[in-house]
Amino acid sequence: MPNNANTAYEDAAKLTVDLVDHGNTPDRVSEAVLETLIEMSSESQINVWHKRTGLSKESLAALYRMYETGAGYRRSRLYGDYETGRLERERDKG
């Protein structure tokens, strides 16, 4: 029977690789994701970038297991809500 917790990390790792490698992902987004992942991997000593193959799904899944899960979605919603409010306030002032 598969471990659902491990599957979730593996799915997140696959989605990350797909985002970074997708042809329509803007370079700035890919670079920001890669920079963050490389910083995290150096802190944890898990090598997520391999010269021949690029991002490793297995290494990313291991890295994700080390960090708290679910915070990314909540944070992105929080930052998005903040930025939307900030832009509305600027528009109302101007």
- The DSSP line for 21-82 is H-TTS-HHHHHHHHHHHHHHHHHHT---EETTTEE-HHHHHHHHHHSPSSHHHHHHHHHHHH
Q: Are 12 and 33 in contact (CB under 8 A)?
A: no
Find, among 52, 65, 50, 49, the residue nearest to 11 by Cα. Answer: 65
pTM for this one?
Answer: 0.67
10-19, 71-80, 84-93: the lowest-pLDDT one: 71-80
Q: Average of pLDDT values for 24-49?
A: 90
Tokens, residue 49:
């970038």
Q: Are 12 and 61 in contact (CB under 8 A)?
A: yes
Q: How far is CA 91 from the centre of its chain?
A: 31
pLDDT at 87: 85
